[in-house]
Structure 1
């Protein structure tokens, strides 16, 4: 690829042709089956700090991932070069690896009959014709709004505007080939407040397929400043067992941990606390988690998964009961189950919710902790034990009283899932997991 070539939909035919050439080369060198994933991406990133430009970066990358099979033996290799010699050498390298690996009864391409036959356009590509100068201007405007919003905002930790566009193509020796172009644009602002003998940092951001639909830079800056200033005077609270409300932007992480626990890789390795849980009631009966992979504009939409299988809408949790694992072709074979067309992950997870906003959930909680920041990776996937550093706000009589820091929240995820009291209507739309704030009936808050 030369620098003048597009990375929009018009680049797809050339990428698809390269995939076909690689598959043909793999056959020529003796592979019994082959699959190829190609990506071509470019982006602009600008960041400012303390009213001055820090970085303006343009990047352009491409990559070819080639997986070959010789019977039940598998070999993989990758390259960023697209020339005939590079492709021939990469195929040879993958073939050499395959010849030295053990046979695996579960390896190989997915069933040809399951390949995606239709590839609708989900309107994921919207190039943003913004110049580096315009990007810098928006970032500076965002940061200036943050400084102007509160006199206690004394420092900045970076305001960044990113615009990204790319193409992805997957093909295999069954004759399947699919591809799509997508864009992702974002603006984030991190500010530092000083006061009451403390320095506190917080942020805000927005993400969209369309750059023109990003939240107003002034609004993002103000929100970042308000969040940072609101944390001044934070202190620990005595150790207690109380309800905990996870803000919507953090609640997705709870469901992300759940998805990891029902994913085939953890299940067949027997390293998940939800192994053998199919058919069990894991959540309250009013709660449903379902995947909707065919939404227009959404961050996770795709017509096919990483194996080329047609994606489809389905629940993982229905009326509180686990009704489906998350399986690729390989993990499904390891478990003796069909693939759920989730090689590469879940596409647009929706969490059922009520009609209460976060303020109403605080009223319902009465006394407890609103969590707005989590630190560390404190989940034991084997046991489900959960323990993470947290910060947020202490709540009494349904009203925020003061900011909290230096506490740890702990519980077991099985208990946490069953003790979800409510999910708010303040949906997080910037993520692949759409959920509102989540109120959990009881957790241990360990503080002073």
Structure 2
């Protein structure tokens, strides 16, 4: 099964839309993708798995007036395409009307959109991938004699294309790539054992962190967790380390999604225009960053994406809307069908070390367990592990604790965001310093 070209994918979308029209649909949209990749894992110096992947899939949505039906398949043969459209039409004809159903408005479709440089395929052989993964694992194992075992290092690379089109006449798409190198290791000192990892992921394989740096960072993280203690229950300042802090921003975006707002299932219900953070906080989405891991020139409905503030001067500037949730709220889509793309929060001039010094005494959270956020009330309670700080210095690791608060209060009590925002992923943030939380221990 070979990968399909952009032109072949465009023809499939055109065929799907034509079939929907032939069957009487008043409107339709379709998306089709094709990708291939390699994933290789080594463990304790030996190759453990090699996996070559090839994936294809398509989805089609049809509308008969205000009635909607959707179907999907991984079979891209002409007969399967016709059957998939037919199933979507049958579903639509048997559903009730919904006043908010339909394509996004035609005038919002992306036109002359930019090339965001998202495609950097890596022609790497399994032997070459094995060598890079071995270097990462060996760097971790050689770092300290207390590194006792490994769950392996994995290199994965994927390249593909997708096309979206709808009956407004919009057809658009582009090729993408993603490459990741990760390492998971275990440390042991006496009876105490710990596990941790590190990784990097990029659109362009030439920008990946070196295998040695990934192995060394995994080693530093796992060693810092050895001989963790419990804390007595108390209230104290809490810093969420930069690799943990993206969860705070995801809690925000979940609360301001249009679907959460119209369903009245958000702890930030009706918060548009209101102060939800201190006035120095700015949070932006920029879908147009070249090579960005979440970059896209248009959303899942063909609507042009654009950079925008979610929060400015601490105030909520916009909800996150697709066309359906926008209609439910009497608003216009924000080009966020499919989610938020490349989120960032303005950081200050403090690195993590300075932030710990200014905090003085408190908890640095390095790991969270469980879900623990009530999306309606904002009540927050998570199992955690981290480092206890006194006089601005790390005193000892802590484990088997729970941290609790309310997300609305945590946003308002944000003291600072660090400049240590060089973490992998599409969410760019430094460490978050929250003024006060409850820490439940023994």
Bin the TM-score by the shorter chain. over 0.9
Q: Which residue of 1 aligns with 2:249?
A: 255
Runs of 4+ in 1 over 6 A off after TM superposition: none
Q: Deviations over 1:48-107 (max 9, x none)?
A: 112221110010001010000011100000011111111111110000000111100000
Q: Secondary structure at the match of 1:126?
A: coil
Structure-to-structure mapping, 1:179-328, within 5 angstroms: 179-328=173-322
- Aligned residue pairs, count: 442
Indicate conservation of the 8 Å contact 1:118/1:303, yes or no.
no
Matching of residue 413 in structure 1 with residue 419 in structure 2: no
Matching of residue 427 in structure 1 with residue 413 in structure 2: no
Q: Which residue of 1 aligns with 2:110?
A: 116
Indicate conservation of the 8 Å contact 1:196/1:232, yes or no.
no
Q: Which residue of 1 aligns with 2:139?
A: 145
Q: Secondary structure at the match of 1:256?
A: helix
Matching of residue 76 in structure 1 with residue 70 in structure 2: yes
Distance 1:172 1:251 in 2: 38
Indicate conservation of the 8 Å contact 2:384/2:401, yes or no.
yes
Q: Give the CA deviation at 1:429.
A: 4.2
Distance 1:429 1:22 in 2: 41
Q: Could you state the TM-score of these two structures normalised by the residue count of structure 1?
A: 0.97
Unaligned runs of 5+ in 1: none
Distance 1:75 1:428 in 2: 43
Distance 2:26 2:333 in 1: 22
Indicate conservation of the 8 Å contact 1:249/1:428, yes or no.
no
Q: Which residue of 2 aligns with 1:27?
A: 21
Matching of residue 90 in structure 1 with residue 84 in structure 2: yes
Q: Deviations over 1:280-337 (max 9, x none)?
A: 1000100011111111111111110111101111111110001100000000001111
Q: Secondary structure at the match of 2:243?
A: helix
Indicate conservation of the 8 Å contact 1:31/1:68, yes or no.
yes
Indicate conservation of the 8 Å contact 2:172/2:302, yes or no.
yes
Q: Give the CA deviation at 1:158.
A: 2.0
Q: Which residue of 2 aligns with 1:354?
A: 348
Matching of residue 107 in structure 1 with residue 106 in structure 2: no
RMSD value, Cα: 0.9
Distance 2:366 2:82 in 1: 51
Q: Which residue of 2 aligns with 1:40?
A: 34
Q: Which residue of 2 aligns with 1:384?
A: 378
